[in-house]
């Protein structure tokens, strides 16, 4: 089975712009979670989707949003980018609740 894929792998944007990141989960996995990783804050949970519904949201401003499609693929969007949004954004998929999560390689976003 193919693993979790994320596109693009690298992205450079300027302050004020918006960005959309994409994640394709492992086939059959309906849960997709997003995490942000920065040197200062570490790994932080953004949100989780299951069957197109957001079930959980982390403590991030409304500029961070996401969605999930009927084929379980997910996108996250960050609007009005700030320098502090520079991070590695990781997507993970899971077959069941409270089970292991499989992570993609991440999208490294740089905001200039």
Return the number of the residue (24 or 94) whose C-beta is nearest another protein: 94
Q: Which two tokens stand for residue 108?
A: 């490294």
Phi first, then psi: what are they for 78, rounded to 5°? -125, 120
Dist. CA 93–CA 78, nearest whole Å: 20
Return the number of the residue (66 or 106) whose C-beta is nearest another protein: 106
Compute the least distance from the CB of residue 14 to another protein, in Å: 22
Q: How far is CA 41 from CA 13, 35, 85, in A?
A: 21, 11, 11
Q: Which two tokens stand for residue 12?
A: 């450079």
Q: Is residue 36 at the binding interface for another protein, with CB under 8 A as the rule?
A: no
Return the number of the residue (56 or 80) whose C-beta is nearest another protein: 56
- 52-91 footprint of another protein as x/- string (CB under 8 A): ---xx-xx----------------------------x-x-
Helix, coil or strand: residue 34: strand
Dist. CA 45–CA 57, nearest whole Å: 8
Residues making contact with another protein (CB under 8 A)? 4, 31, 33, 35, 37, 41-45, 48, 50, 55-56, 58-59, 88, 90, 92, 94, 97-106, 108
């Amino acid at each position: 089975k193919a693993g979790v894929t994320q596109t693009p792998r690298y992205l450079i944007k300027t302050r004020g712009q918006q960005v959309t990141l994409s994640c394709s989960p492992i086939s059959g996995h309906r849960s997709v979670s997003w995490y942000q990783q920065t040197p200062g804050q570490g790994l932080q949970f953004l949100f989780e989707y299951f069957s197109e519904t957001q079930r959980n949201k982390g403590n991030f401003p409304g500029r961070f949003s996401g969605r999930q499609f009927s084929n379980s693929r997910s996108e996250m969007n960050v609007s009005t980018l700030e320098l502090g949004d520079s991070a590695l954004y990781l997507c993970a998929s899971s077959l069941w609740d409270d089970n292991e999560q499989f992570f993609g390689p991440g999208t490294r976003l740089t905001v200039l």
